Amino acid sequence: MINLSFPFTEEKIRALNVRDEVALSGVVFTGRDAVHKYLHEGGRLPPGVSLRDGILYHCGPVVLKDEQGDWKVTAAGPTTSIREEPYQAQIIKDFGIRGVIGKGGMGDRTLAACKEFGCAYLHAVGGAAQVLAECIRKVRAVYFLEKFGSPEAIWELEVEDFPAVVTMDSKGHSLHREIFATSQAELAKHL
């Protein structure tokens, strides 16, 4: 297990390899379909918000306000990342993102962007909404809540020991591609 904590420097990210298990601590920003489309079309982040050297989490969390009026994340599993494939490479480049958390992996364009700009894809366990919500220590802020609605908004979250597996690194390796090839070859032997 590799402790990956803030600041997420290019050096730390470039040291990661496919199959590494990481425990992530620091700030992550959620972003899913609406945010990706918006940023890709040239939309700006709110003043004072920067994703440079930041981590983007493909997640539409369930967030409620508690009695004190504070936000509380009650479920926060990853959503399927491949839907963002048309946008991701450009966003990694333009906004200087160092890590993308999601599930299911991404395609060749994102893999190439990871290599060129120093980014890694971190696979969280799909469906583990409760375990992952426990890792979220604090909701620091929310942006575009009115514009996109709660699941699609950008939530700025403080996480501690958030578990994920590197499945696409900055060296051009993709665990998804590798396993597809080996399982396909294995299947051919069983037909």
Partner 1 sequence: MNALQDSLIELIRRTSAEIPDDVRQAILDSLEREKKGTIAESAMKIIERNIALAKQKSQPICQDTGSILFYVDSPVGMDQMRFEDTACLAVKKATKLGYLRQNSVDSLTGINDGTNVGPGSPTFHFHQQRSDRINVRLVLKGGGCENVGAQYSLPNEKLKANRDLDGCRKAILDAVLQAQGRGCGPGILGVCIGGDRATGYEFSKRQFLRLIPDRNPVPELDTLEQDILKTANDLGIGPMGFGGRTTLLGVKICAINRLPASFFVSISYMCWAYRRLGVTLDAEGKIAGWLY
Q: Which of 76, 81, 78 is nearest to 91 (CA)?
A: 81
Pairing of strands 154-168, 71-75: unpaired
In angstroms, the CA 49 to CA 116 distance is: 24
77 binds partner 1 (CB under 8 A): yes
Active site residues: 36
Asked if residues 137 and 156 have their Cβ atoms less than 8 Å apart, the reply is no
Contacted by 183, from ligand SF4, partner 1, none: CB < 5 to 8 Å by type:
partner 1
Instruction: Kindly state the tokens that stand for 75.
Output: 């479920």
- What is the Cα–Cα distance from 112 to 93, expressed in whole angstroms? 11
Q: Which does 142 bind (CB under 5 to 8 A by kind): partner 1, ligand SF4, none?
A: none
Contact between 157 and 27 under an 8 Å Cβ cutoff? The reply is yes
Q: Out of 7, 21, 50, 127, name the contact with ligand SF4 by CB under 6 A.
A: 127
Contacts of 74 (CB under 8 A, 6+ apart): 62, 63, 64, 133
Using CB under 8 A, which residues numbered 112 to 141 contact partner 1?
Answer: 123, 125-131, 134
Nearest-approach distance from CB 107 to ligand SF4, in angstroms = 20
- Annotate each residue in 2-41 with x if it binds partner 1 (CB under 8 A) or - if it does not, as one string: -----------------x-x--------------------
- Report in angstroms how near the CB of residue 102 gets to ligand SF4 at its nearest: 11
Binding test (CB under 8 A) with partner 1, winner from 104, 137, 145, 161: 104
| Cα–Cα distance, 51 to 160 (Å, whole number) | 19
Contacting partner 1 (CB under 8 A), which of 105, 117, 121, 155? 105
Chain residues binding ligand SF4 by CB under 6 A are 77, 126-127
